[in-house]
Amino acid sequence: MSVLINILLFLLVISVLTFVHELGHFIAAKAVGAKVFEFALGFGPKLLSKTIGETMYSIRALPFGGYVKILGDGDPVEEKI
């Protein structure tokens, strides 16, 4: 039982650290006026998502990371939308 609790606590800590880290990217992008397309916690398929303004906020299936998709940071063909 304690192994399961340790695994769940590890996932919780990683999720909180990831959120704070990605929030830093998000705040920095907004501070310089960059367009943020998506703020995601986790990877893989979307479990929940909501668009507010120009940004889609999502929670994804695998809680081992996250990302902030910013205009100009990635595939230039995709950003001609």
- Taking residues 43-68, what's their average pLDDT? 92
Chain-centroid distance, C-alpha 66: 4
Q: Find all residues with CB under 8 Å of 61, minimum gap 6, and list them.
A: 42, 43, 44, 45, 46, 47
Give the whole-number percent of the chain exceeding pLDDT 90: 65
Asked if residue 81 has pLDDT above 70, the reply is no
Go through 25-63 and write b for each residue having 16 or more CB atoms within 10 A of its CB, e for each that does not: bbeebeeeeeebbbbbbbeeeeeeeeeeeebbebebeeb
Q: Is the pTM of this model over 0.75?
A: yes
Q: Which residues are catalytic?
A: 22
- Strands annotated E in 1-81: 36-52, 55-70
